[in-house]
Homo-oligomer: A and B are copies of this chain.
């Protein structure tokens, strides 16, 4: 039955020595006799002594905890990132505490407050789609709490960033579609709020230009959800010069795209190719299976956490802001020629 955790004082009393001796014995400091050390260690082990992290934290004003602000946990990419962060943190003996912004700026602001008052050692954050003001992140910096942005970064704040190579991922995928003979590639993108969306659009456009193909804004609608796809894709298919390929900003839209195309009697990929972005669990479930850009969320999470912990450990090295880029990889499956 739950006897309250044993403390140094308890050990000291039991062995009739002072608290400081116990403390030093357990830390194996040289000034304590071997005899005493053995006694203390034995007693501590038998009674499952665990140092009280709160007391430790109070002295050092830190608690080996890292805060994470993430837009949405239920999301293949973000959960992969989270998983990578968790593993890396555990390896380095840090705990993580997680806040979810749910794509809402207010909750994001609240999250920074929560994490600061929880006295985390550092914060990893990805912007919500609706965030247009960044004072709360500046406050984190002013508070001397190291901050690393991942994926959805904020260019206005002077701090470390880790991003997926959206531009090249998009460029390469587009170029691949062109190489398989696609002449008219539609781009299903997101709104202009997030930099990642713009980067993908630019990669797509530049690939077209490089190959002397026109950039046609009329086949570049905003379409980043399944319900939007159900409106937008049929309309595109009914045009006289319909696209012969769709490049979608995420796998969900791409999968929806495939199904709509098939319902129009076209064949994927013979008539129309489809390419996604993420490489989530959906990519193998579609028929045909989905060619898509692997976003490497797990690596991104690992690297962002590594970077942050590096900052924490070597606080003196103020070597300016670091920007890391995770290379994407095109995964070719059956939805492209």
User: A2 near B: Cβ within 8 Å?
Assistant: yes
Contact status of A61 and B65, CB under 8 A, knowing A86-B100, A282-B285, A287-B259: no
From B53, B76, B141, give the contact of A74 (CB < 8 A): B76
Find the B residue at minimum CB distance from A100.
Answer: B86
User: A117 near B: Cβ within 8 Å?
Assistant: yes
CB distance from A116 to the nearest CB of B (A): 7
- Per the 8 Å Cβ criterion, residues 34-51 of A in contact with B are 50-51
Whether the Cβ atoms of A2 and B142 lie closer than 8 Å is yes
Find the B residue at minimum CB distance from A298.
Answer: B74
User: A319 near B: Cβ within 8 Å?
Assistant: no
Residue total for A at the interface (Cβ-Cβ under 8 A): 59
From B119, B141, B281, give the contact of A52 (CB < 8 A): B119
Query: Within the oligomer, what is the number of copies of this chain?
Result: 2
User: A79 near B: Cβ within 8 Å?
Assistant: yes
- Per the 8 Å Cβ criterion, residues 125-169 of A in contact with B are 141-144
Find the B residue at minimum CB distance from A78.
Answer: B79
Find the B residue at minimum CB distance from A140.
Answer: B2
Whether the Cβ atoms of B143 and A2 lie closer than 8 Å is yes
Whether the Cβ atoms of A86 and B57 lie closer than 8 Å is no
Find the B residue at minimum CB distance from A258.
Answer: B287
Report A184-223 CB contacts with B as 1/0, cut-off 8 Å. 0000000000000000000000000000000000000000
Whether the Cβ atoms of B83 and A74 lie closer than 8 Å is yes
CB distance from A302 to the nearest CB of B (A): 13
- Per the 8 Å Cβ criterion, residues 289-329 of A in contact with B are 289, 298
Find the B residue at minimum CB distance from A259.
Answer: B287
Contact status of A252 and B281, CB under 8 A, knowing A79-B79, A287-B262, A287-B287: yes
Find the B residue at minimum CB distance from A280.
Answer: B281
- Which residue among A4, A55, A73 has the maximum number of chain B CB atoms within 10 Å of its CB? A73
Find the B residue at minimum CB distance from A60.
Answer: B54
Whether the Cβ atoms of B117 and A100 lie closer than 8 Å is no
User: A238 near B: Cβ within 8 Å?
Assistant: no
Find the B residue at minimum CB distance from A285.
Answer: B255
User: A98 near B: Cβ within 8 Å?
Assistant: yes
Contacts of A116 in B (CB 8 A): 50
- Per the 8 Å Cβ criterion, residues 1-42 of A in contact with B are 1-2, 4-5
Find the B residue at minimum CB distance from A64.
Answer: B118
Whether the Cβ atoms of A54 and B50 lie closer than 8 Å is no
Whether the Cβ atoms of B83 and A100 lie closer than 8 Å is yes
**Which A residues fall within an 8 A CB radius of B?**
1-2, 4-5, 50-55, 57-58, 61, 63, 65, 72-76, 79-80, 82-83, 86-87, 90, 95-100, 114, 116-119, 141-144, 226, 251-252, 255-256, 258-259, 262, 280-282, 284-287, 289, 298
9 nearest A-B pairs in the assembled complex, by CB-CB distance: A2-B144, A255-B285, A54-B57, A73-B83, A79-B79, A54-B58, A282-B285, A74-B79, A50-B117
